[in-house]
């Protein structure tokens, strides 16, 4: 009996040693960072404890049955600030829950009557958060109104924003830049991202500066007091002065004047000056009025726009449907649009939990969706769903689990196609250009579809790499450090390593 227990104990010890050895070998493999990446980190004074990396190989199987093999992991379980890569969670859950064909609705009611082509009464616009109600869409809305037999409107505009809780519409920023387009707050009646975009450039026919703008506003005038100077186009914005007369802002029944002053370089072929300079009601009122006039409609008098709930006695004139969610997701991920992402999160709350939509309810909807897909992200923090936050947090490992899950969902290709393509479009348009040239001779070219993220002290990448041999990798890396802005090179080295099929057999698991 004693010899039996001795042999049994010896066997257990041997098995334990083999398991420990195997685990050590696997840990050594997944902790290996490519030398090109570590060298870049050292050059740019970014410590290795400021970066997390997760790389998995996604192996194809039957539809909905893709599996993953760990390739590389460096602090992959550490939750970090993901910046705009958080949009991947918001857009993927939105696509799967709402469906790629989902469309937002903007309802228009009236308390008046239509007689002989004249609508005598007020219009009430009730929004549900269409993130891309832009001039082209508003022009379609005007045509649909005209198809109801309306040529002239004798009344004012009222805006019903009851779909959102007031707290989510507050204009809070993390950097104090309230006039910057990326900081626009959510709005159930968001029009043209509430951003005036001026196009400036030297005239082709004379020595003066052309200024145009979009969207059209019914009573905005431009005062051009700039001087052409012989300077490089670099830093052109620093020499430009811009203001709207304070007495005009908020008065929707008065003309607005956008005044430009300062020096403008003659070498600039055309630049955009984007600014959030008007309150939401003024911007929407004058935008709606201009769109109606451009469509050939008239007003009995310039309309005044105010907040107001739809009266019980009002009747529905029109239910306008915006573009498909799939198209919105393309813009969100390719160009990292913050307010569009935030409105997708609020739409999840609105559709699944009713109004008024709150960020907290959007968080609950996403957390429930994660659990339904077998994902337990215990340390996940969602503040607004866009990544424009100092508080949002997720780990690289969790993000890659999300990317693997995406490949097994019906919306896999819609989501995949929404990501920026290195060297081609979106926020990756100018990345990896030199590296990708080396593959021009290949019949099937490798590609990197990567969502980027950046804040002060944060640089992030997350997405898919299709290597030169046809392998698909999910890769996520976060850098949280004061020198994070120098981390672009390290991330590009990581992506290059994967494009080249960097993982050697000894690293495979």
Over residues 417-465, the pLDDT tens digits come to 999 999 999 999 999 999 999 999 988 899 999 999 999 999 999 999 9
Q: Per residue in 473-497, pLDDT tens?
A: 999 999 999 999 999 999 999 999 9
Higher pLDDT, 234 or 158: 158
Judgement on whether residues 157 and 231 belong to the same structural domain of the protein: yes
On whether residue 12 sits in a domain, the answer given is no
Edge-to-edge strand list for the sheet holding 157-160? 305-307, 157-160, 123-126, 103-110, 315-324
| pLDDT recorded at residue 17 | 34
The CA distance from 443 to 435, in Å, is 16
Query: Across the strands, what pairs with 115?
Result: 118
Judgement on whether residues 479 and 354 belong to the same structural domain of the protein: yes
The CA distance from 54 to 497, in Å, is 13
Phi, psi of 72 (to 5 degrees): -150, 135
pLDDT at 188 over 90: yes
Phi, psi of 343 (to 5 degrees): -75, -25
- 32: confidence class by pLDDT, cuts 50, 70, 90: confident
pLDDT at 9 over 90: no
The beta-strand segments (E) located in 132-231 are 152-154, 157-160, 196-202, 209-214, 220-229
Helix H or strand E encompassing 458? strand 458-466
Judgement on whether residues 421 and 301 belong to the same structural domain of the protein: no
Considering its fold, how many domains does the chain have in total? 2
Judgement on whether residues 110 and 213 belong to the same structural domain of the protein: yes
On whether residue 2 sits in a domain, the answer given is no
Cβ contact 349:164 at 8 Å: no
| pLDDT recorded at residue 506 | 42
Cβ contact 66:77 at 8 Å: no
Cβ contact 412:402 at 8 Å: no
CA 450 to chain centre: 13
Judgement on whether residues 158 and 232 belong to the same structural domain of the protein: yes
Cβ contact 499:454 at 8 Å: no
The CA distance from 136 to 217, in Å, is 14
Tell me the CATH number at 453. 3.40.710.10
Q: Per residue in 369-419, pLDDT tens?
A: 999 999 999 999 999 999 999 999 999 999 999 999 999 999 999 999 999
Note the pTM of the prediction, 2 decimals: 0.90
Q: Which of 324, 341, 370 is the last residue of a domain?
A: 324
Tokens 């004379």 correspond to 206
On whether residue 5 sits in a domain, the answer given is no
- 502: confidence class by pLDDT, cuts 50, 70, 90: confident
pLDDT at 10 over 70: no
The CA distance from 285 to 290, in Å, is 9
On whether residue 4 sits in a domain, the answer given is no
| pLDDT recorded at residue 62 | 67
Judgement on whether residues 382 and 442 belong to the same structural domain of the protein: yes
| pLDDT recorded at residue 2 | 41
Mean residue pLDDT across the chain: 91
| pLDDT recorded at residue 13 | 38
On whether residue 423 sits in a domain, the answer given is yes
**What are the structure tokens assigned to 461, written together?**
């990448």
Judgement on whether residues 136 and 210 belong to the same structural domain of the protein: yes
| pLDDT recorded at residue 66 | 86
Higher pLDDT, 95 or 21: 95
Q: Per residue in 143-162, pLDDT tens?
A: 999 999 999 999 999 999 99
**Rounded percentage of the chain residues whose pLDDT exceeds 90:** 82
Helix H or strand E encompassing 417? helix 412-417
Judgement on whether residues 156 and 226 belong to the same structural domain of the protein: yes
| pLDDT recorded at residue 150 | 98
Judged by DSSP in three states, 200 sits in strand
Range of the domain at 174: 104-324
Judgement on whether residues 286 and 164 belong to the same structural domain of the protein: yes
**What are the structure tokens assigned to 8, written together?**
């049994």
The CA distance from 426 to 333, in Å, is 8
pLDDT at 507 over 70: no
On whether residue 449 sits in a domain, the answer given is yes
Judgement on whether residues 342 and 431 belong to the same structural domain of the protein: yes
pLDDT at 245 over 60: yes
Q: Which of 324, 343, 370 is the last residue of a domain?
A: 324
Q: Which of 324, 340, 357 is the last residue of a domain?
A: 324
Judgement on whether residues 417 and 435 belong to the same structural domain of the protein: yes
Burial tier of 411 (Cβ tally within 10 Å: 0-12, 13-18, 19+): buried
**DSSP secondary structure letter of residue 310:** P
Mean pLDDT of 211-228: 94
CA dist list (Å): 414 to 101, 110, 333: 11, 38, 11
On whether residue 7 sits in a domain, the answer given is no
pLDDT at 3 over 80: no
| pLDDT recorded at residue 205 | 77
Q: Per residue in 105-138, pLDDT tens?
A: 999 999 999 999 999 999 999 999 999 999 999 9
Q: Per residue in 293-339, pLDDT tens?
A: 999 999 999 999 999 999 999 999 999 999 999 999 999 999 999 99
On whether residue 421 sits in a domain, the answer given is yes
Judgement on whether residues 286 and 360 belong to the same structural domain of the protein: no
**Rounded percentage of the chain residues whose pLDDT exceeds 70:** 90
pLDDT at 239 over 60: yes
């Amino acid at each position: 009996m004693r010899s039996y227990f001795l042999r049994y104990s010896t066997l257990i010890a041997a098995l334990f040693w083999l398991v420990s050895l195997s685990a050590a070998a696997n840990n050594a493999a997944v902790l290996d960072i490519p030398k090109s990446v570590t060298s870049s980190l050292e050059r740019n004074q970014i410590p290795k404890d400021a970066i997390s990396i997760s790389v998995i190989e996604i192996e194809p199987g039957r539809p909905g049955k893709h599996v993953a093999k760990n390739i590389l992991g460096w602090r992959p379980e550490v939750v970090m600030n993901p910046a705009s890569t958080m949009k991947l969670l918001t857009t993927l859950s939105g696509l799967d829950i709402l469906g790629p064909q989902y469309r937002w609705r903007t309802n228009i009611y009236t308390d008046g009557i239509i007689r002989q082509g004249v609508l005598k009464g007020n219009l009430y616009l009730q929004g549900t958060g269409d993130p891309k109600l832009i001039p082209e869409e508003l022009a379609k809305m005007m045509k649909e109104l005209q198809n109801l037999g309306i040529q002239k409107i004798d009344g004012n505009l009222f805006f019903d924003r009851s779909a959102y809780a007031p707290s989510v519409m507050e204009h809070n920023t993390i950097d104090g830049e309230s006039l910057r387009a990326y900081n626009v707050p959510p709005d159930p009646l968001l029009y043209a991202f509430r951003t005036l975009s001026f196009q400036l450039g030297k005239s082709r026919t004379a020595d003066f500066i052309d200024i145009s703008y979009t969207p059209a506003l019914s009573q905005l005038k431009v005062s051009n007091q700039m001087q052409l100077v012989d300077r490089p186009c670099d830093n052109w914005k620093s020499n430009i002065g811009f203001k709207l007369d304070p007495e005009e802002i908020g008065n929707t029944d008065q003309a607005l004047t956008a005044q430009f002053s300062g020096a403008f370089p003659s070498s600039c072929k055309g630049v955009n000056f984007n600014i959030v300079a008007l309150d939401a009601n003024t911007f929407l009122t004058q935008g709606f009025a201009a769109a109606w006039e451009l469509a050939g409609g008239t007003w009995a008098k310039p309309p005044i726009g105010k907040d107001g709930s739809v009266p019980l006695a009002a009747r529905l004139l029109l239910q306008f449907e915006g573009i498909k969610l799939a198209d919105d997701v393309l813009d969100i991920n390719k160009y990292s649009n913050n307010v569009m992402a935030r409105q997708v999160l609020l739409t999840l709350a609105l559709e699944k939990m009713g109004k008024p939509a709150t960020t907290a309810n959007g968080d609950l909807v996403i957390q429930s969706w994660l659990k339904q897909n077998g994902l337990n992200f215990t340390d996940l923090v969602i503040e607004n769903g866009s990544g424009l936050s100092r508080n949002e947090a997720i780990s690289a490992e969790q993000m890659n689990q999300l990317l693997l899950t995406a490949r097994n969902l019906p919306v896999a290709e819609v989501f995949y196609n929404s990501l920026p393509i290195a060297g081609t479009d979106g926020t990756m348009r100018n990345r990896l250009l030199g590296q990708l040239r080396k593959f021009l001779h290949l019949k099937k070219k490798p590609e990197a579809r990567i969502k980027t993220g950046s804040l002060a002290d944060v640089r992030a990448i997350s997405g898919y790499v299709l290597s030169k041999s046809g392998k698909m990798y999910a890769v996520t890396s976060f850098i949280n450090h004061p020198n994070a802005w120098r981390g672009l090179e390290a991330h590009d080295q990581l992506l290059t390593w994967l494009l080249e099929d960097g993982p050697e057999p000894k690293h495979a698991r």
